[in-house]
Amino acid sequence: MTTTAPAPSDAATEQAWLTRLLLNPGNRQVQHDIRDAADLHRRIMKLVPDGLGDSPRAHAGVLFRLDTDGAGPPVLLIQTRVAPDTGRLPAGYAQAQTRDMRTMLTSLRPGLPVRYRLLGNAVRRCGPNSTVGKWKQVIPLHGDDADQWWAARAAAAGLDLHTVLSEPADALTAWHQRDGGSGPQSPVRGRERQGEAIRVAHSATRFEGAATVRDPDALRNALLHGIGRSKSYGCGLLSLAPGGSGA
């Protein structure tokens, strides 16, 4: 089943669409894409219009996250600022549902309790006097350091955190041609060469918990533009759900 979201209107309200793909794990193209974050990114970009310039992901507002729990088929969440066309997916690739996010974006208010989820590329760049790496080298963060990274970005995103459950996620592996043709380089955990391709592993940490909305405008900006680095490889999509005792 595929769905095509309606075309954008001229309303001043910020628009975005959230597409949920229930992937078919028996489909060979799915199996290929989930092994290579660069190929998955290319697949997702086929859902938005062509001709978006030098930074098509940013122009289309594409953010995505692959959720796997081992208990069922993987779920791919894709957020876009233009209407996606899931009819461009290969036959048998996934079951697709697309929702307009305007109601959620306009309902944010101070004091609103929410649940959140983020797959973040928690890293820091070394300074000239760093003892843990070379100047400007990007170092993945873990444990309390990763939690502090998220706490700072959550505050900037207008969220007051109440609980944080964090755990390291599998590295997002992407294969790049030596000429960089498969996409922009981002902070990495490791590299290795195989023939003409370079394997790049982007570190990721999953954050979940409860929070309260403090600044709706800052939160809308974070929702629409993402948080942190490695957005082209599946990091940065902030998901919200209603909070409260029944969440």
Domain identity same for 137 and 84 = no
Domain identity same for 116 and 230 = yes
HSE-up of residue 73 (Cα within 13 Å, Cβ side): 16
pLDDT score of 183: 46
Domain identity same for 186 and 226 = yes
Domain endpoint, select from 104, 133, 162: 104
Overall residue count recorded for the chain in this entry: 247
Identify whether 10 is part of a domain: no
pTM (two decimals): 0.84
pLDDT score of 200: 83
Tokens 């996606």: give the residue.
84
pLDDT score of 125: 78
Domain identity same for 26 and 92 = yes
Domain identity same for 39 and 136 = no
pLDDT score of 37: 94
Domain of 141, CATH number, reads: 3.30.70.1210
Q: Are the CB atoms for 81 and 224 separated by under 8 Å?
A: yes
pLDDT score of 136: 61
Domain endpoint, select from 104, 128, 161: 104
For the chain, 247 residues long, the average pLDDT of each consecutive 10-residue run is 44 80 97 94 94 86 92 94 96 98 96 98 76 67 97 99 96 72 42 61 95 98 97 97 67
- Strand ranges in 108-164 using DSSP code E only, listed in sequence order: 113-120, 123-125, 138-140, 159-161
Tokens 């209407």: give the residue.
83
Domain endpoint, select from 85, 104, 123: 104
Domain identity same for 186 and 116 = yes
Identify whether 142 is part of a domain: yes
Q: Are the CB atoms for 174 and 180 separated by under 8 Å?
A: no
Range of the domain at 78: 17-104
Strand partners, 168: 205
**CA gap 91, 12 in Å, rounded:** 36
- Strand ranges in 30-164 using DSSP code E only, listed in sequence order: 63-67, 75-80, 94-100, 113-120, 123-125, 138-140, 159-161
